[in-house]
Structure 1
Amino acid sequence: MRRALLKLLITAAGFYVAVLAALWWGQEKLLFAPDRLPADHVFHFGNDVHEVSVARPDGARLDALHLRLPAPRGIVFYLHGNAGDLQSWFGNVDVYRRAGYDLFMLDYRGYGKSTGRIASEAQLREDVRAAWQQIAPLYAGKVRVIAGRSLGTGLAAGLAAEVHPELTVLISPYRSMRRLAAELYPWVPGALLRYPLDTEALAPRITGPVLLLHGDRDSLIPPAHSAALQALLPHARFIPIDGAGHNDLQHFPAYTHAVREALDAAAQR
């Protein structure tokens, strides 16, 4: 009986170690769910939306879309979530047209028409920084807004902590990917996560106004994450969106109103 129990324990331990090893080496497949687009795909979001690319030193090229108005109040630099591509993420562009803001959004490596593959958090942040450095000089003296949604909120917080925009918008943010993983998968050691994306460590370095938007029925990233971030940011405003989950905030008038109100306020400061 003891031998059988010992054998069972050894087998279970071996299986557990194998699962952890798979999680270590396969994290990109778990965190990132890109949709690919053919290289000749044509976007149809209006004549004021232009496709641009961001070249990286290793040869990768990041595909991006840039809404350009005749006389914009500023720029919204938007970092999208972990699934899809620009074709699905750029559909809410009229919100920014009506607010009088240009919109810039890129696809991460391996998403849409972007080439290369995501290999580390440092690389991902460097890609975001390079895209910002390419677009920001066009908006000297205008309002700069950095926005992120879901996965993109950790990247947006990091960039905002560096460049100090006039407004930061975090939509369905997490305190850190490590904390979120601990809630969803408590049996996985936190040290195993190669993409900690520690938003709460970066948040105190964001100096300007911050808007936190979160569906009150979000079961993937609970709204308690936004509440915890607000506690670290006395200049942040947290607006729960009644009835919204994780993927449908953009369909709620309260969400659109909050975004428009924040953009108008940023332009008036």
Structure 2
Amino acid sequence: MSANSGTDAAAPGIGKMDPSTRAPEASVCGFIREPLAFWLFRRAAGSADAGRVAGIRDIDRLTFTAGDGRTLGGYRLRAAAPNGYLLVAQGNAMLADQIMGELQYFRDQGFDVYVYDYRGYGLSEGRSRLTAIISDYREIIANLNTQPYHRHALYGMSMGGVILLNAAGESGDYSSLVIDSSPSRISPLGCPEQYDPINHLPADSSRLEIIAGGRDRVVRPQEIQELLFAAKFRGARVVQRTEFAHPFQDATDAIHRSRMKAVADFLSR
């Protein structure tokens, strides 16, 4: 899904594959349709452009080597006195350099902010595949959790929420997790049910916040309702605003700022 594009959709396809037999970058949502979908999303995202972050203060270029040897590229915003880290997983037609400017808000709230391009996108090597990207985020989170941060915060937008729930939702290896405009299920698109976000909600979801918007035309309200209901029943904070659209598509700057504040307030509580 995209955080800034109307072409947003969770990796669609058909067919299933036994996870125990797949290669690191194998398709699970269709041998043809998953690679095609990610190709379209990468094309929509465009090319990395360091000029987009040139004027941002306290920013570092990062690399991370995944377990299969692929190198992922991204950025970190350094807080003056970090209270914790915030790992952001963006929509699936976005690059890290396109959103670093907006994420300065979270740096100023005391977080070191980490954003990586998905494998195969922008600064990152490899083939873009659902299972491989989920694996990358498990590894990134595990690595960040070894560093001396007091708070471990995660924020997933659209497809990023699908990735983070699969990577860490049930493990609880975080202080707080915000899922913003992610669908309840991706199995209707042909992916195995084991990747449905709703199947990765922890029994105690009190460290989760789920955000949904009444004006979202990418992940429509009915596509997230099941996740909202289940998460609220398990103790999550649910934020439903009629004025919210999809992330980075809100009608006004004031609405966008309100959304960012709802995220920051929960992550910092």
State the TM bucket, normalised to the shorter chain: 0.7 to 0.9
After alignment, is 240-249 or 210-219 more displaced?
A: 240-249
1:195-210 superposed matches below 5 A: 197-205=195-203, 207-210=205-208
Q: Structure 1 residues 260 and 139, CA, compared in 2 at 3 Å: closer, same or farther?
A: same
Structure 2 gap ranges (5+): 1-12, 16-29
Paired residue type of 1:26? R
Paired residue type of 1:171? D
Paired residue type of 2:159? L
Aligned to 2:7: none
Partner Cα separation in structure 2 for residue 95 and residue 205 of structure 1 = 31
Displacement of 1:41: 6.7
Asked whether 1:25 is paired with 2:23, we answer no
Paired residue type of 1:203? L
Displacement of 1:69: 1.4
1:99-178 superposed matches below 5 A: 99-119=109-129, 121-140=130-149, 142-158=150-166, 159-178=168-187
Displacement of 1:207: 4.3
Displacement of 1:258: 0.9
Displacement of 1:104: 0.9
Partner Cα separation in structure 1 for residue 52 and residue 268 of structure 2 = 32
Partner Cα separation in structure 1 for residue 140 and residue 221 of structure 2 = 29
- Secondary structure (helix, strand or coil) at the match of 2:184 reads coil
- Secondary structure (helix, strand or coil) at the match of 2:201 reads helix
- Secondary structure (helix, strand or coil) at the match of 2:108 reads helix
Asked whether 1:256 is paired with 2:260, we answer yes
Paired residue type of 1:261? D
Identity %, equivalent residues = 20
Under a length normalisation based on structure 1, what TM-score does the superposition of the two structures give? 0.76
Contact kept in structure 2, 1:153 and 1:173, CA below 8 Å: yes
- Secondary structure (helix, strand or coil) at the match of 1:117 reads coil
Asked whether 1:94 is paired with 2:104, we answer yes
Partner Cα separation in structure 1 for residue 185 and residue 32 of structure 2 = 20
Displacement of 1:166: 1.5
Displacement of 1:98: 2.7
Paired residue type of 2:238? F
Aligned to 1:245: 245
Q: Structure 1 residues 205 and 91, CA, compared in 2 at 3 Å: closer, same or farther?
A: farther
The structure where helix makes up a greater share of residues is 1
Partner Cα separation in structure 2 for residue 45 and residue 221 of structure 1 = 33
Aligned to 1:76: 86
Q: Structure 1 residues 56 and 257, CA, compared in 2 at 3 Å: closer, same or farther?
A: closer
Paired residue type of 2:132? Q
- Secondary structure (helix, strand or coil) at the match of 2:261 reads helix
Structure 1 gap ranges (5+): 1-18, 182-189
Asked whether 1:47 is paired with 2:48, we answer no
Q: Structure 1 residues 244 and 25, CA, compared in 2 at 3 Å: closer, same or farther?
A: same
Displacement of 1:206: 5.7
Aligned residues: 234
Paired residue type of 1:248? Q
Q: What CA deviation, in whole Å up to 9, does each residue of 1:173-224 have, x standing for no partner? A: 1111123x3xxxxxxxx4xx36963100111356442111122111221223
Partner Cα separation in structure 1 for residue 145 and residue 192 of structure 2 = 29
- Secondary structure (helix, strand or coil) at the match of 1:256 reads helix
- Secondary structure (helix, strand or coil) at the match of 2:85 reads strand
Partner Cα separation in structure 2 for residue 155 and residue 45 of structure 1 = 30
Q: Structure 1 residues 206 and 128, CA, compared in 2 at 3 Å: closer, same or farther?
A: farther
Q: Structure 1 residues 59 and 220, CA, compared in 2 at 3 Å: closer, same or farther?
A: same
